[in-house]
Structure 1
Amino acid sequence: MAYLYNQRWQILLEFFEQKRMTRSIQENWLKQYDSIEEVFAKLPQSQFEKFPLISSDEKGKIRVITLLDPDYPKLLKQIDNPPVFLYLLGNNLSYNEDLTLSIIGSRHPTPYGEKVTNLIVDYFSHPDITIISGMAIGIDSIAQKKALSNNLNSIAVLGSGPDVCYPKSELRLYQNLIEKGSIISEYPPGTEPKRYHFPMRNRIISGLAKQLIVTEAGRKSGTMLTAQAALEQGRDVYAIPGSIFMKESQGCHQLINDGAKIIMNLEEMSQISHEIINSLNNHELLIINLINQFRPDFDYLQKLTRLTASAILVTLGKLESLDLIKQKNGNYYLTTKGFHCIK
């Protein structure tokens, strides 16, 4: 549930300021209640009469999600110091959290970094994948533009209010994210970007995803802070190696040295996409295993499964769309990605 942002929320923020509540105190105070409706019911009603609490899913209007709401991302709720409020533009935050990937990197990528970033997004073009980043110039924006062009869901986490496009040079991406993905921020509408906002913002980029990939990064950069946050949050962190002569790869090499998983080639992407298993039902896993064992044609597959022809067609269509199986001369075979789904 997301609520339309109006003066009611500003009054609540002012209440927190008057009580000198830090973020952690706000979090503990809210957790006394079961819902945001109950929170507002405990406060003087005269302040809120003109500003009703309205649920909304209108993409172009700013909405609010609180820690108490069922739509608040479960992964983000698990981190230390989660945002009390998320301000949202674009789609509601209803997506498969098991299939979330943050892709981050240098604001000054090399052609190699740009190429690898695009390849990563291509490789993870699963219909339920969500690509998360910060909309920054460089790797972040490259990843999110590619995600949208591949019809994937994408979430940008800003260091400003959700209605403040930063950087301004990425206005078209910002608009496309509102239309096809989501813009979120812990900062209220109208908040201008400040240098100290971005280290705080970085914990959300890592906190929203199960895995994080660093394509290129200098040793001292915001990217490294985000990667460190991901490691502390228990996320799987991957880094792309590069040339020892390129400063844009030194951060990745440091992460690998510190325990991040190295991605040596595109086949190793399959280790991450193993999460696809979680999106397959029992019938789909059955067919995956039968194709691995028998490489059957359609008729033989129907005999093996005893499913209806229509059910098998639907399942085969999904598995082909996920690039888990392929058909050759009437028989079905597993792809490289498909082999990683064998149980």
Structure 2
Amino acid sequence: MLHEPFRPDYPIETSRLTLRPHRPTDLEDLLAFHSDPEVVRFLPWPVRDRAATEAALARKLDQAVLTEPGQWLVLAVELRETGTVIGEVLLKWTSAEHRQGELGFAFGRAFHGKGYAAEAATAMLRLGFEQLDLHRVEATCLDDNQASARLLRRLGFTQEARFVDNAWFEGAWAGKLVFGLTAERWQAPVGDGGQDEIRSIVEGFFAAFTSGPGVEDRMTALRDMMLPEAVIISSSENGLAVYDVDTFIAPRQKMLTDGTLVDFHEEAQSGRLEVFGGIAHWFGRYSKGGVLGGAQFEGGGMKSMQLVRTAAGWRISAAAWEDDAPGS
């Protein structure tokens, strides 16, 4: 048990966010995502109406201080630019003897894929390891919640277990993934300059363009890999086509889901990676193939990606590609 209550020095500021105790005036913002089935489909509480959200908020008002193991810090995540509460981040003090904690988070659908969850979770991990003196922080998610699993890996967590049919969830058995992050790993310098994380992002970029179930989740993950201001360029004999994140992703997601492009896959074949401090560049060959408009095709080309290190991890700042010339 702590000698005195643990109350962080609120508010906790990040580059874009403010983490703070909940207030009664947060009700409307919380209701916006507590009542969204897409947000709560992987969470351990049901879709909430106004009354249920108000009751949940009343409990959160007293969850800004830790006095004994088993308690949670539950903080509102406020987008500083607008003052809107866009999500919540949680840290549980699970054991004093073993210096253990647990991380959790939930964010409104409109704020997915923008790096906010990673930014808030990073601040909460810093609080847990550097102020609460935790040795290890655990996080869990349902097996199907691959967006959260990817985020935890980017935060430095290692998947330690997968429990099969571990929980009866929304009328069916669900598996659970268990992740862990130790203080030693958190504090260790990144010896490879972040190359493992960067290569994972490069692989994830190509993997996003796979037809079949899960396209929407893969595209959401792709957005999270990119800066909101990222620029994507296609070069061809007809000139340049320049996209922002939305105009790049939207038509490709449509083609992969409306039957235009089926049995499609794209993957990196070879490439080189260069990292210097907080900037990186990947340049390499890729292949692709599938059925477009009823006709089978195979192809490939070269792609370049520039990445930068942010508070939430590495992100793609620009990408450019050119397909092989026909018949080459």
Give the structure, 1 or 2, with the largest relative contact order (CA under 8 Å, sep 6 or more): 1
More strand by proportion, 1 or 2?
Answer: 2
Max Rg structure: 1
TM-score range for the pair, normalised by the shorter chain length: under 0.3
TM-score for both structures, normalised by structure 2: 0.27
- Higher helix proportion, which one? 1
